[in-house]
Amino acid sequence: MNAPSLDQRLLDIASRSDQCALLSKVLLITREMHRAAVVGDWDVVTEHEATRREWIQACFEEPVAPEHAQLFSEALAVMLHLNEEVMAKLQDAREAASAKHAGQVHARKSVGHYLDTESDSR
């Protein structure tokens, strides 16, 4: 029999109503944000960020229980790693959008220049 996937284990924990469940929800939504960023679905990333922020705040309203310190430390490391990857994808998307915009500006100027020379030659 196959062991449950990480997502399934996180879903099982998330069904509870304690601090670990909130942390599990944070990890799940962070993974969804990462998947969305990989395919360039920035609307999903933005929508999930607001929810994730609320869950993170609720998760840390109380101190982490000592018996969960290691779990929280590892989970936060995973979350930060995924967040860094999302930020890198965002930077790539910004650079691509900027290059596209610069190309459009250049094309617009070229067309304008062409139209000016056309009217001058008449």
38 pLDDT higher than 90:
yes
**Distances from the Cα of 96 to the Cα of 6, 46, 99, angstroms:** 33, 19, 5
pLDDT tens figures, 105-119 = 666 666 665 666 655
103 pLDDT higher than 80:
no
| pLDDT confidence of residue 2 | 73
Helices and strands of the chain, counted as H and E runs:
4, 0
- Residue 6's H or E segment, with its range, is helix 6-14
**Band of pLDDT at residue 101, cut at 50, 70 and 90:** low
| pLDDT confidence of residue 5 | 75
Calpha distance 24→37 (Å, rounded): 20
Question: What are the structural domains of the chain?
Answer: 8-120 (1.20.58)
